[in-house]
Amino acid sequence: MVYERQEEGRYGSHRDVRVDPFVREFDMGLAQPLSRSVRLNGFATCLRLEQVYWDILGEMARANGCSVSSLLSHVDREVHLRHGGVRNFSGLVRVVCVVHSLKEGGCTVMA
């Protein structure tokens, strides 16, 4: 009995989730991390992101008529100009992708 209470406290109960985050036909491949070599403003680097983010970046690049590297170079340049840089560029790219996706879906992003 003590074991059950610990598990419920540790993981929560199934009743806590009102919207199932695993939508029908969920593709676990989208969560697979993938490293790619990219050029950021002329410098070669490696960026490791989950497949879903690479897909979003590809859509954003197509919409802008540029390559993913050009799009990421723009993000890198802008974060340096506006904020003096960022410690976690991969994290910034993920947030940029999420914000883009939310706006495309008609959601308001709160600051």
* Whole-number pLDDT of residue 15: 64
Residue 29 · residue 51 · CB < 8 Å = yes
Cα four-point dihedral sign 81, 68, 64, 41? positive
* Whole-number pLDDT of residue 54: 96
Q: Please give the structure tokens belonging to residue 23.
A: 């939508």
Q: Tens digit of pLDDT for each residue in 42-60?
A: 999 999 999 999 999 999 9
DSSP annotation of 106:
T
Domains, the chain, ranges and CATH?
33-111 (1.10.3990.20)
Residue 70 · residue 61 · CB < 8 Å = yes
Residue 43 · residue 64 · CB < 8 Å = no
